[in-house]
């Protein structure tokens, strides 16, 4: 099992504030002889727009020296996790969580936007300071 992301607890708190119940920390899947540990699994039974929704969250901080290396790793991991979820928990939607600063600095550029559109990557943008979800981008 890999180490928790630097902002793991912030995202967890933000999800709880947003009405989500954390069901798995981490969410474990075994697919084709490979173990996967997605950072969080959560259910939302209250909010009308998310009623009965099940999600998985892969948390990234994008704090390393090379933002593009972080981007490559995050996208590859996201695609692998989404495929594993389709096979084991097809009713659970996967989101890639990142801090607002990374979203504003990197994901607003043309190439990352093309990749997000091409691979239909669902994003969760979190506010580090206030420990809240700033934006869902389905």
What per-residue confidence (pLDDT) applies to 36? 97
Alpha-carbon span 33 to 123, nearest angstrom: 28
To the question of pTM greater than 0.85 for the whole model, the response is: yes
| Residue 93, beta-bridge partner list | 55
For residues 45 and 18, what is the distance between their CA atoms, to the nearest angstrom? 11
Q: What is the domain partition of the chain in residue ranges?
A: 20-48
pLDDT tens digit string along 6-64? 999 999 999 999 999 999 999 999 999 999 999 999 998 665 445 568 999 999 999 99
For 67-122, what is each residue's pLDDT tens digit?
Answer: 999 999 999 999 999 999 999 999 999 999 999 999 999 999 999 999 999 999 99
Query: In this predicted structure, what is the pLDDT of residue 48?
Result: 46
Which among 88, 83, 31 has a CA at the least distance from the CA of 58? 83
3-state secondary structure of 134: strand
């Amino acid at each position: 099992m890999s180490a928790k992301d630097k902002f793991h607890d912030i995202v967890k708190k933000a999800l709880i504030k947003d009405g989500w119940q954390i069901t798995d920390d981490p969410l474990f899947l075994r697919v084709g002889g490979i173990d996967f540990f997605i950072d969080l699994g959560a259910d939302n039974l209250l909010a009308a727009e998310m009623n009965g929704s099940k999600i998985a969250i892969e948390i990234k901080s994008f704090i390393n020296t090379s933002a593009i290396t972080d981007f490559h790793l995050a996208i590859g991991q996201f695609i692998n996790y989404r495929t594993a979820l389709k096979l084991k928990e097809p009713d659970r939607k996967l989101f890639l969580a990142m801090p607002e600063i990374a979203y504003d600095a990197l994901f607003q550029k043309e190439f990352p936007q093309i990749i997000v559109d091409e691979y239909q990557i669902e994003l969760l943008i979190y506010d580090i300071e206030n420990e809240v979800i700033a934006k869902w981008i389905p």
